[in-house]
Chains A and B, each alone.
Chain A
């Protein structure tokens, strides 16, 4: 495939992620912080997000599995997940967390579990999309092209 075709596909894919709400402007900020002196900034941060999120989701699953659910703990985890997802621009994950916290306040265990499922789903979706995006980037670079800068 020609580099220009790869670049075009990359742009299209990126734009779709924003359009469909998977990513928001915070992700763009991170992209803007990346440059030749910090070439892997976005990848580093996103990898951190993946590690963190999977840990939190595990902890949440565990907490909600208890006989007596400690909503304070659950809320603390969701708060963290909300913070980290919003800081990298994973909008849908963040929104799912917001909903989740409401049910924590209400101390509604079943609703919380449903929310956890939702969060989990959104997380894996955005993870796979970001990984696809990175793969496309790597292919462009390997073919000698440069990554188109999004506005």
Chain B
């Protein structure tokens, strides 16, 4: 935590009549982390042994060998370097790209040009570091392209064109996307639509990298298996189905990644070890019924390539499912909805105050917001809205009684203790007791003392310019006309709260 005053920053004032410009400069006098120690910062995630992804023969299951090559298209050079070095240690050759142009160049050269090129020879030299492999192995190789969402230009529609560009490589490589926690669901569904089903959130921990590789290898093995005559294909896998999505939930893994060290099962190629349940979760694996599992197959990438035992076939989809759901419920009922749940939490973590007097609208909006992950407090008039805001400012949660206009202290709505501050207010304009305009004025007045500015979105039944002017005048940040377009509401909320994330 940098304390500007202590660290020797300074402020300059440039006076210009009634205008003042403030300059802030901050010097960080921290000692920094020794480069030798960079890797150890991530040590807790290094426990995993990637040797199973080395894909040597002799696994005993008659499955074909897949060699993996990884192209890291990530923003941060340190992250790329570390990941690259680590993958080399584990026997996976890598390429790097730092931005979109580099990525497309590399892809073009790698897949479109004929004959060996610089990139291939680079990779070849990497491969030669690993005994036992030869250049011709590339033919049966699986290319994995790990792309950070930051390489796409999401501020315009260019990103869709960028995805189109990547489409041409769809058959030649598997893409895995590193998303931001607030990456919109429309981006995610577009990715999914184009067959990109591997997605994880930043940061790219080693454990996530392992899981990506395992998923890719399992898929590839399944594809090869179907080509090979060895295994009977009685499995019900749905590989590469664009309707499916493998979203690796960080909350599932981060806590457990250090426990993933026991990748054991040497005989189990591309073992589901990355998708192993820790013992404490094992009780839950028994809960879901088989009929739910079959339904779930439509939503989840099934990674079961072991057809030899029926019970194993049942067990593994269950374990994949457990990992993919967000909240591992005790009952099995939510298990098949992993896709939709993770897709819809676009407002996850936001606390919204909804001031709306029409009960149906209050209910619809609350339900809708909660379903996309927001926490909602609903009040029925402007006065309650102001009080709710006041209450949320107090850490102890004690609500001061506010005198109403006629002098009596009004009863504030009972709010939970320690209510966290709101991120945004949805304010109906026409409400009894105190309408939205008045409430907003009051809120801005209170804020002028503290210096905060909570985003306020007006909900108005009128769409006239005079209403818009009125909204702006009292200090609202945006408005939505009724009846509410919910998608517009979500995107408005996101754009007003995004800078906070």
Contact = CB atoms under 8 A, between A and B. Distances in A.
B358 interface: yes
Interface string B356-367: 011111011001
B169 to A, nearest CB: 32
A30 B359 CA distance: 16
A49 interface: yes
Interface string B365-377: 0011001000000
A79 B430 contact: yes
Given A52-B359, A88-B360, A88-B364, A83 B482 contact: yes
B364 A52 contact: no
Contacts of A84: 358-361
Contacts of B256: none
Nearest to A55: B359
* Most chain B beta-carbon contacts within 10 A, residue among A29, A84, A87: A87
B336 interface: yes
A29 B461 CA distance: 18
Interface string A69-107: 000000010011011101111000000000000000000
A36 B337 contact: yes
A33 B361 contact: no
B359 A87 contact: no
Nearest to A30: B364
A88 B361 CA distance: 8
A48 interface: yes
B364 A87 contact: yes
Given A37-B340, A45-B367, A79-B430, A87 B485 contact: no
A41 interface: yes
B358 A87 contact: yes
B75 interface: no
A65 interface: no
Interface string B407-444: 00000000000000000000000101000000000000
A110 interface: no
B interface secondary structure, majority:
helix
Contact of B482 (A33, A36, A49, A86): A86
A151 interface: no
B463 interface: no
Nearest to A29: B486
Nearest to A84: B360
Contacts of A37: 334, 337, 340-341, 344, 371
B461 A36 contact: no
B82 interface: no
B340 to A, nearest CB: 5
A30 B364 CA distance: 9
B154 interface: no
A83 B483 CA distance: 8
Interface of B: 334, 336-337, 340-341, 344, 357-361, 363-364, 367-368, 371, 430, 432, 461, 482-486
18 contacts: A26-B483, A30-B364, A33-B486, A36-B340, A37-B340, A37-B341, A48-B363, A52-B360, A79-B430, A80-B358, A83-B360, A83-B361, A83-B461, A86-B483, A87-B358, A87-B361, A87-B483, A89-B483
Given A29-B486, A48-B363, A89-B483, 12 more contacts: A35-B340, A36-B336, A37-B340, A45-B367, A48-B360, A76-B432, A80-B359, A86-B483, A87-B361, A87-B364, A88-B360, A88-B364
